[in-house]
Structure 1
Amino acid sequence: MIHIYTGNGKGKTTAAIGLAVRAAGSGMKVFFGQFVKGMAYNEVSIFNEQMPQIDHELFGRTCFINRDPEPEDYKAAKAGLRKVKNIIQSGQYSLIVLDELNIALYYKLIALEDILKLINELPRDLELVITGRYAPQELIDKADLVTEMKEVKHYYKQDIKARKGIEF
């Protein structure tokens, strides 16, 4: 099955982490790749320290919310996609999470056609989760499950900054 968690609300990566932990707890081998992100947030430190069933890798450099992507950002995303293709072909994982892939697509760090081809060639027994705002309609059409996180109210609007253990 293909899952997509998208939308402007909080919780996309958190939902994917929850699913990864559930899968690992049932004995499944999980790969959790994060596009665009270049820093391991606290949410994934538990993978490295306490969950050997979950392999984690970053496919980004730094957050570029306040700037345009640089050539190195494109290179990092493309290298990440090559790695993901090899991981899929290895057959050793039951669940693969591609966190913030939709953002990489939105900023054209990766071509949508490459992702659609990857999806069309997935083994039938592989579960794939894609997160990030701005999921393209073509991915939504391919997915078996789509959840849109909708922001109704957020404390950021009260100028409350990201808090350790909650947002990072």
Structure 2
Amino acid sequence: MAGLDQGLVQLYTGNGKGKTTAAFGLAVRAVGHGFKVFIIQFMKGNDDYGELKGLSRLYPECHHEHFGGKGWVHKGTPEEEHIQEAQKAFLRAQEIVHSGEWDIVILDEIVNAIWFELLVEQDVLDLLDSKPDHVEIVLTGRNASEQLIAKADLVTEMVQKRHPFDQGIMARKGIEY
């Protein structure tokens, strides 16, 4: 069985495209080396994301669960359904991180869940402090705070220079979702 001697904390943030893509690329690489990966997606209530089907092909080494309410979340006035779904996802994340069964845990869009006030940032920081030494945790999402940036061992900021949306091209199946 594979395993990490030292698990770190990675953070992919910024306004550019590629945060989730980078994290899921890491999952593919890790599975290729025999690591066990668990992915929890926050704020993903829709079932039409390509990664839901694609990641299932990496089973059983890679497990994937997604949580989220229907519709958009509005900063400052989140609906109770969105808060409850984020809380369920976070409880699941705590369980998975501390289970001892997984080498890498990806918490996709957790940074957004904090920014939209669906989660308390200190709870996430406490999870990072309490993780087992061998577990790598990957956080993704825009608007990472200075506290999250300081806590991470690796921080990558995706910077948007150009995006097809700026030219009126809407999100494309298999590319953006």
- TM-score when scaled to structure 2? 0.90
Q: In structure 1, which of residues 46, 50, 57 is the aligned counterpart of residue 54 of structure 2?
A: 46
Taking structure 1 as reference, are residues 147 and 38 closer, same or farther at Cα in structure 2, changes over 3 Å only? same
Which of 89, 100, 116 does residue 98 from structure 2 map onto? 89
**1:141 and 2:144 are equivalent in the alignment:** no
The residue type equivalent to 1:33 in the other structure is: I
Contact 1:37 1:63 in 2 (8 A): no
Structure 1 partner of 2:66? 58
Equivalent in the alignment of 1:79: 88
Give me the whole-angstrom Cα distance separating, in 2, the residues matched to 1:154 and 1:133: 16
Determine the structure 1 residue equivalent to 2:3.
none
In 1, Cα distance between the equivalents of 2:60 and 2:92?
19
Give the aligned residue type for 2:141: G
Alignment correspondent of 1:70? 79
- The residue number in structure 2 matching 1:160 is 169
Shift of 1:44: 3.1
Distance 1:97 1:119 in 2: 12
Uncovered stretches (5+) of structure 1, i.e. residues with no partner: none
Alignment partner, residue 23 of structure 2: 16
State the Cα distance separating 1:155 from its structure 2 match.
Answer: 1.1
In the aligned structure 1, how far is the partner of 2:79 from the partner of 2:71?
Answer: 11
Contact 1:35/1:77 (8 A) holds in 2: yes
Confirm or deny: 8 A CA contact 2:39 2:108 kept in the other structure: yes
Change (3 A) 1:63 1:144: farther
1:38 CA displacement: 1.0
Q: RMSD across aligned C-alpha pairs, in angstroms?
A: 1.4
Identity %: 45
User: C-alpha separation between the residues in 2 aligned to 1:75 and 1:108?
Assistant: 12
Do 2:41 and 2:107's aligned partners in 1 also have CA atoms closer than 8 Å?
yes
* 1:32 and 2:53 matched: no
Count the aligned residue pairs.
168
In structure 1, how many angstroms separate the alpha carbons of the residues matched to 2:157 and 2:58?
A: 30
1:77/1:104 contact within 8 Å kept: yes
Listed one character per residue, the Cα deviations across residues 38-96 of structure 1 (whole Å, up to 9, x for unaligned) are: 12410231221343211111121234156842001001111111111111121100000
Q: Could you tell me how far apart the structure 1 residues matched to 2:166 and 2:57 are? A: 34
Match for 1:59: what amino acid? F
> What CA distance in whole angstroms lies between the structure 1 residues aligned with 2:155 and 2:58?
29
Query: Are the equivalent residues in 2 in contact too, given 1:12–1:149 (CA < 8 A)?
Result: yes
State the alpha-carbon separation in 1 of the partners of residues 81 and 136 from structure 2: 30
The two structures have a TM-score, normalised by structure 1, of 0.95
Quote the offset at 1:119 in angstroms. Answer: 0.7
